[in-house]
Chains A and B, each alone.
Chain A
């Protein structure tokens, strides 16, 4: 699949933002006063920038409000509704913490749950797509949820939780890769079933329908990323989860926490780029790749 920069930024930044908001919502000792302004401001900014990046991905952003209507059937619509609901429900809790020093735990918890649901909805947009076997698997949502929660814990300065979540994230990523490598073969789709000619013999593309490129090839048959998959996995695992986990085991300081955050975000960008770039769509079978 095409690794669109807007989608990579959206899923990493808004994931991190909603992860932070979840921690701020569930926080037993929620920050108050100036600290609350900084923490909640960061959460809202990350979530907002991510959502804005996603809007840039649209062909007709002026019609984006329509995306709030189909929550009964569409995960993308659910994501829109849940993200807006999270930001709305969390707002009184954030304002009360920042300006009156009295967090509103009920709204905080509700907002936290909504933030988690938003991240789950983001993951389900990809996990629901059967035509991309690598994504269509239970191991996809844990990667998104743990990445958001681990990054959010780091931002919210919940360093012990962040350490354990980073380790869980590394396991989830490895599980997703190991399972993912077998998904396409396990989907049962091949050139034979795609053309229905598999019963007659071995099917091979002789002539593509056109000599140039097209939307389908650009969007769904991205082959460059598959070449470097192994290296990128090591980068994602090392920088995104294990490196930060190691730093979190050292005596806590601003420097190690900041370094862990930078490493984690770099690693997550690599992971998300690879998530799209190495995912094979079954339509590639019609194009011999």
Chain B
């Protein structure tokens, strides 16, 4: 049923630390690897060795430049995947019931055998978290590695999403965000974690942690160093003006 549950028992999700992320794209690759070889239709590549290769990914890393006043600009690497929203617009638009949000842990999933590939859920998502697979023609999205986190055949340390497990910088955290005492909730509280596009009313479960304030050196005003040379006088000044007139 594509109505949203009024309440979920838990809210499993990710906390992504924009201060720590180094933009290595390891999470992108491990996500693609796990989700191609395990649950659901594989994440295909189209024209993989041709002129215009492209593929289905459930997690992508963008890099942004933030220009600040009175401080040098910052580069922030920005991994983006499904935020498993409490008020997920992608779920309610689904005409077949293929999209659903689980009551037990809040994970938003697609039942691929009921997906007609209309693409409306991808339109409804403000974050671009859903991609139609070019080969299977069904909608693919982050499953929060639902086939890892409960998988008793895996060693306990591997029972977390592939992106979290692989992140070499420790920038990704997984846990229950409905429990105020959980590590992830405490991290969000301590670091003032925020929602992406709160004005879209989606109430995302995943949170992002802002870059920490950088140390500030007593830097000279860089712009002033770029000022043009002071006006020359005397012979050089005459030469300067004469050349200017040519």
Contact = CB atoms under 8 A, between A and B. Distances in A.
B42 interface: no
B63 A206 contact: yes
Contacts of B9: none
Nearest to A208: B62
Given A66-B114, A200-B210, A214 B93 contact: no
A193 B117 contact: no
A160 interface: no
Contacts of B97: 66, 69-70
Contact of B74 (A75, A199, A200): A200
Contacts of A195: 64, 76, 78, 196
Interface in B128-150: 128, 131-132, 134, 136-138
A192 to B, nearest CB: 9
B120 interface: yes
B92 A73 contact: yes
A171 interface: no
Contacts of A201: 66-69, 71, 73-74
A197 B80 CA distance: 14
B65 A204 contact: yes
Contacts of B210: 196-197, 199-200
Given A60-B116, A189-B126, A215 B134 contact: yes
B197 interface: yes
B57 A75 contact: no
B204 to A, nearest CB: 11
B74 A73 contact: no
Contacts of B93: 74-76, 125, 128-129
A74 B1 CA distance: 10
Most chain A CB within 10 A, of B2, B66, B120, B210, is at: B66
Interface string B49-88: 0001111110011111111110101111010100000000
B62 A80 contact: no
Nearest to B120: A76
B55 to A, nearest CB: 8
Nearest to B114: A66
Interface stretch (A35-43, A87-95, A225-233, A279-287): A279-287
A240 to B, nearest CB: 25
B64 A205 contact: yes
Interface of A: 1, 57-61, 63-64, 66-67, 69-70, 72-77, 80, 125, 128-132, 187-189, 191, 193-197, 199-210, 212-216, 219-220, 281-283, 286-287
6 contacts: A72-B3, A131-B89, A203-B64, A206-B64, A213-B52, A220-B123
Interface of B: 1-3, 18, 28, 52-57, 60-69, 71, 73-76, 78, 80, 89, 92-98, 114-120, 122-128, 131-132, 134, 136-138, 194-201, 208, 210-211
